[in-house]
Amino acid sequence: MTEEIIIAGFGGQGVLSMGKILAYSGIMQEQEVSWMPSYGPEMRGGTANVTVIISDERISSPILTIFDTAIILNQQSMDKFEKSVKPGGTLIYDPNGITHHPERKDIRIFQIEGAQLAAEMGNTKIFNMIVLGAYMNVKPIVKLENVIKGLKKSLPERYHKLIPLNEDAIRLGMKNVAEIAN
Amino acid sequence: MTIPSLEEIIKPENLVYEKTDLMTDKALSYCPGCGHGTAHRIIMEVIEELGLEEDTIGIAPVGCSVLAYEFMNIDMTQAAHGRAPAVATGIKRCWPDKIVFTYQGDGDLAAIGTAETIHACNRGEQIVIVFINNGIYGMTGGQMAPTTLPGMKSSTSPYGRDVEMMGNPLKITELVAQLPGTFFVTRQAVHTPAAVRKAKKALKKAFENQKDKKPGVSFVEIVSNCNSGWKMTPVDANKWMEENMFPYYPMGDIKVDGQLVK
Amino acid sequence: MGELKLMKGNEALAEAAIRAGADAYFGYPITPQSEVIEYLMAEKPYERTGMVVLQAESEIAAINMIYGAAGSGKKVMTSSSSPGISLKQEGLSYIAGAELPCVYANVVRGGPGLGTIQPSQADYFQSTKGGGHGDYRQIVLAPASVQEMADFVKLGFELAFEYRMPVLILADGVIGQMMEKVELFDQMPRLTDDEIAEKYPWATTGKKKGTQRRIITSLALQAHEMEAHNMMLQKKYADVTEKEVRFEAISCEDAEYIIVAYGSSARIAQKTVELARKQGIKAGLFRLITLFPFPSKALQNLCKQGVKGFLAVEMSAGQMVEDVMLSVRGCAKVDHFGRFGGTIHTPEEVLNALKSKIIGG
């Protein structure tokens, strides 16, 4: 099993940390992982993306041009990465702020109202965890228990009290992801 | 009166002066009349008198005193041009209980190594910096130094230093005295026995500061001659130094125990 | 099994320095490797092991702090990225000349000049052919994973002290910035001051009465002395070339076409080999681990084994390819492919190049 994922959106949406949590979860279930961000001016609030690979085998290239799954969180990223999904692959996106919706017919497309659900929960910071939940439902590769284990390991002790909130957000995302009929 | 024989003169009871063991027996490579030899000797005497020789690491620069390690009989590291304060920082940070000093000329300390000098002083490294200022590049054949006086001739200012074209002489000693990281800043000379005594006293204070872990750099400038580079006899060079260098680079302490005194 | 962590290459390098028992790190920030000093400052190694961390006023000062500390027998490291590494060359030449041990890393970015902060492998010539002035070499280790970023710090210190020469960990922006699973080696003790004085009699630790003084210098004013010193250095480099060659051959046993690559290019090329094999092309990957010493003999042996062509893949206009050509000496076809100036080639681009330049060409 090898899962090659691109997560793309605005800097500040938690794109990089969502990728990091995914990668950490992979380690928790004894898989190989790589996390390769775009770096540079993107860090200052522009677009940000990260390539995450989870695999049962040694990972070759951490840099890819086509992906099994694209998680897309703004229009610029949609324009850039819709075409980068492998035929038969998966695209998950938040429709908030999207003006040109994906049109590919050879891939599965899912929507998650992440921004709206986060606003309803009254905490925009857990947006990325809602989207992560959506991904985990569509692609059950990392187990929830391993995500929680990964969070415990990667977060400093003082943030551990926030883990239940993150878990709720993941569950909310899992419940609310919807496939778009193609 | 009979003239004593050589055997008689070197009898132990006639001994009035002995070279410190911390100077090697190698003949100095400096020009006759140059101040470097005296400066080397009094530094080594101070280290010996304070009993620091087993714990001292010296840094030689690039310039006439590049071979200082041939004459100073202690552990020495030869640094790239201008980098002695950084080299000293590396050693002192790793060996906080050792005594570390740099020995640098004006081109080394105040031109190519200005950044290293200022920042080592500003960080307050617990080191001694000995700065020999003779207003010229001696080793490479008499080129203009950052401390060359206005109007002073050198091979790269053959018509005299034109400050509009070549900039002004840099009083880096006054400059580092302003930094909170310097603890003791003084300017001395070694051209007369009286000056040598004063300079040695200042050096002793500098090394004592480090031994006592006083905060910051102890910075000792020694204004010296370069009769070869200045194209003068040693006697004329010393006279010229008193008349021209000393007014621009006045003798005495600038900062003592962390307080400006001038 | 050691501790498993998800870390950036730069962080793994920094953590490995602490664990390898380094005495000091001196550095100056530059993208894409500032995480090294940031990590160290946050981690407070002076509390963990007594290791010194200092942000110098420049790369020039940092490498000279390394020179001073290394000369006094301490285990010291610095790191930077291309423009900063250029500034360190003077100090590195002195370190090589004075035969001092140190480890330093270059997380390469695109150049020349200020260039770009994106990854590159265009510092190959600088790394393997000297870099600074004079006839000297340094051992160059090329990590291709975050794991190797950590492991090569330990290996680097071992080699640096064994041969008393600088060891360069030549990474790039990809390896520095990416995160992977790392198994960290256990904390090694730092040497005590007495152990250093005993183990490294050449180090300036203060001249004890009745002993010879130690001098750290690269100066020999007499030409014949300098020549003798150089001959001794060359003998050492020949020894290193004999003993320290490291590489990894992947799918090379039956390969007709071999991609030669190092660092992140090797990772990308490994994917190319997978793609090629799926298409029935007998491709292999020869991954360089040491760039100096260069594994010339192993490449010659592959030639004898019947390999028809070599494609050197590197993020440069073609530097390492010259060493491949010198190694195989015309016995097989050699060509180069690589994006450069901060652009990264894709596995597909490499496959197309393999087909057009080596197989079909």
Residues of A in contact with C344 (CB under 8 A): 63
Structure tokens at B176: 């580092």
Q: Is B78 within 8 Å of C24 when comparing Cβ atoms? A: no
Q: What number is the average pLDDT over the span A12-29?
A: 94
* Residue C307: count of CB within 10 angstroms of its CB: 22
Domains and CATH numbers, chain B: 30-260 (3.40.50.970)
Q: Is C6 within 8 Å of A23 when comparing Cβ atoms? A: yes
Please choose, from the candidates C195, C9, C215, the residue with its C-alpha nearest in 3D space to the C-alpha of residue C106: C9
What CA dihedral angle connects B8, B13, B14 and B18, to 10 degrees? Answer: 120
Asked whether at least 3 C-beta pairs link A and B within 8 Å, the reply is no
Note the Cα C66 to chain centre separation in Å: 17
Q: What number is the average pLDDT over the span A108-119?
A: 96
Checking if the pLDDT of A41 tops 60, the result is: no
Give the DSSP H/E element, type plus range, for residue C284: strand C283-288
CA distances from B245 to B31, B134, B148, B249, B251 (A): 20, 9, 9, 6, 10
Q: Is B88 within 8 Å of C74 when comparing Cβ atoms? A: no
Residue of A34, A40, A154 with shortest CB distance to C117: A40
DSSP-derived letter for residue C275 is H
Task: Quote the pLDDT of residue B8.
Answer: 82
Residue of C179, C273, C348 with shortest CB distance to A35: C179
Residue of C56, C60, C206 with shortest CB distance to B54: C206
Helix axes B114-123, C59-71, angle to 10 degrees: 70
Radius of gyration in angstroms for the set of CA atoms belonging to chain C, rounded to a whole number: 21
Helix, strand, or coil here: B179?
coil
Q: Which of A60, A84, A142 to mutate to test the interface with C (most CBs of C within 10 A)?
A: A60
Identify whether the C-beta of residue C37 lies closer than 8 Å to the C-beta of residue C25. Answer: yes
- Sequence-ordered alpha helix ranges (H) in C218-317: 223-243, 263-278, 296-304
Q: Which of B52, B59, B89, B210 to mutate to test the interface with C (most CBs of C within 10 A)?
A: B89
* CA dist., res. C314 & res. C288, Å (int): 11
Question: Residue A45 — pLDDT band, cuts 50, 70, 90?
Answer: low
Q: Is A61 within 8 Å of C347 when comparing Cβ atoms? A: yes
Identify whether the C-beta of residue A74 lies closer than 8 Å to the C-beta of residue A102. Answer: no
Residue of C177, C181, C346 with shortest CB distance to A65: C346
Residue of A24, A40, A61 with shortest CB distance to C268: A61
Q: Which CATH number fits domain C247-359: 3.40.50.920, 3.40.50.720, 3.40.640.10, 3.40.50.1360?
A: 3.40.50.920
Question: Domain ranges in chain C?
Answer: 3-193, 247-359
DSSP string, A126-147: GHHHHHHHHHHHHSTTS-HHHH
Task: Quote the pLDDT of residue A42.
Answer: 46
Q: What is the pLDDT of residues B58-81, one digit of tens each?
A: 999 999 999 999 999 999 999 999
Identify whether the C-beta of residue C103 lies closer than 8 Å to the C-beta of residue C28. Answer: no
Structure tokens at C171: 């990474």
Sheet with strand C257-261: strands edge to edge: C247-250, C283-288, C257-261, C309-313, C333-337
Q: Is C178 within 8 Å of A36 when comparing Cβ atoms? A: yes
DSSP string, chain A: -EEEEEEEEETTSSHHHHHHHHHHHHHHTT-EEEEEE--SGGGGTSEEEEEEEEESS----S--SSEEEEEE-SHHHHHHHGGGEEEEEEEEE--TT-SS----SSSEEEE--HHHHHHHTT-GGGHHHHHHHHHHHHSTTS-HHHHHHHHHHHS-GGGGGGHHHHHHHHHHHHHH-EEPP-
C354 forms beta bridges with: none
Please return the burial class of C76, using the count of CB atoms within 10 Å of its CB with bins 0-12, 13-18 and 19+: buried
Note the Cα C34 to chain centre separation in Å: 18
* CA dist., res. C34 & res. C81, Å (int): 9
Q: Is A155 on the interface with C (CB under 8 A)?
A: no
Q: What is the pLDDT along chain B (262 residues), one digit of tens a residue?
A: 678 888 887 788 888 888 999 999 999 999 999 999 999 999 999 999 999 999 999 999 999 999 999 999 999 999 999 999 999 999 999 999 999 999 999 999 999 999 999 999 999 999 999 999 999 999 998 999 999 999 999 999 999 999 999 999 999 999 999 999 999 999 999 999 999 999 999 999 999 999 999 999 999 999 999 999 999 999 999 999 999 999 999 999 999 999 999 8
Q: Quick one: closest CA in B to C201, which residue?
A: B75
Q: What percent of chain A has pLDDT over 90?
A: 84
Q: What is the pLDDT of residues C26-59, one digit of tens each?
A: 999 999 999 999 999 999 999 999 999 999 999 9
Please choose, from the candidates C314, C8, C263, C285, the residue with its C-alpha nearest in 3D space to the C-alpha of residue A34: C8
Q: Which residue is it, tokens 């200012």?
A: B157
* CA dist., res. C125 & res. A52, Å (int): 32
Identify whether the C-beta of residue C284 lies closer than 8 Å to the C-beta of residue C255. Answer: yes
Q: Is C28 on the interface with B (CB under 8 A)?
A: no
Please return the burial class of C72, using the count of CB atoms within 10 Å of its CB with bins 0-12, 13-18 and 19+: buried
Q: Which residues of chain C have pLDDT under 70?
A: 1, 361
C333 forms beta bridges with: C309
Q: Is B21 on the interface with C (CB under 8 A)?
A: no
Give the DSSP H/E element, type plus range, for residue B76: strand B75-78
Q: Is B90 within 8 Å of C26 when comparing Cβ atoms? A: yes
Please return the burial class of A39, using the count of CB atoms within 10 Å of its CB with bins 0-12, 13-18 and 19+: buried
Residues of C in contact with A156 (CB under 8 A): none
Which residues lie closer than 8 Å to B156 by C-beta, 6 or more apart?
B143, B144
What CA dihedral angle connects A24, A28, A33 and A35, to 10 degrees? Answer: 0
Task: Quote the pLDDT of residue B116.
Answer: 98
Q: Is B178 on the interface with C (CB under 8 A)?
A: no
Residues of C in contact with A39 (CB under 8 A): 31-32, 117, 173, 177
Chains touching C, CB cut-off 8 Å, 3+ pairs: A, B
Residue C65 C-alpha, separation from nearest chain A C-alpha, in angstroms? 29
For residue C252, which amino acid is it? Answer: C
How are beta strands C76-80 and C24-27 bridged, if at all? parallel
The architecture (CATH level 2) of C3-193 comes to: 3-Layer(aba) Sandwich (3.40)
Which residues on chain C place their C-beta less than 8 Å from a C-beta of chain A? 4, 6, 31-32, 117-118, 173-174, 177-181, 264, 267-268, 270-271, 273-274, 344, 346-348
Burial A78-111 (b: 16+ CB within 10 A, else e): bebbbeebeeebbbbbbebebeeebeeeebbbbb
Please return the burial class of C360, using the count of CB atoms within 10 Å of its CB with bins 0-12, 13-18 and 19+: exposed
Structure tokens at A148: 């929680």
Residue B156: what are its φ and ψ, rounded to 5°?
Answer: -110, 5
Question: Residue A182 — pLDDT band, cuts 50, 70, 90?
Answer: low
Q: What is the pTM of this model?
A: 0.94
Domains and CATH numbers, chain A: 2-179 (3.40.920.10)
Residues 91-150 of A with CB under 8 A from C: none
Q: Is B75 within 8 Å of C205 when comparing Cβ atoms? A: yes
The reply to whether domains C3-193 and C247-359 share a CATH topology is yes
- Sequence-ordered alpha helix ranges (H) in chain B: 6-9, 36-49, 68-71, 84-94, 106-107, 114-123, 163-166, 172-177, 193-211, 227-230, 234-240, 246-248
Residue of C4, C177, C271 with shortest CB distance to A27: C4
Identify whether the C-beta of residue A26 lies closer than 8 Å to the C-beta of residue A32. Answer: yes
Question: Residue A43 — pLDDT band, cuts 50, 70, 90?
Answer: very low
Residue C2: what are its φ and ψ, rounded to 5°?
Answer: -70, -175
Q: Is B57 within 8 Å of C56 when comparing Cβ atoms? A: no
CA distances from C36 to B27, B63, B94, C85 (A): 48, 36, 20, 15
Checking if the pLDDT of A46 tops 80, the result is: no
Task: Quote the pLDDT of residue A36.
Answer: 95
Residues of C in contact with B55 (CB under 8 A): 206
Q: Is B89 within 8 Å of C61 when comparing Cβ atoms? A: yes
For residue A108, which amino acid is it? Answer: R
Q: Which of A39, A42, A57, A64 to mutate to test the interface with C (most CBs of C within 10 A)?
A: A39
Burial B34-67 (b: 16+ CB within 10 A, else e): bbbbbbbbbbbbbbbebebbbbbbbbbbbbbbbb
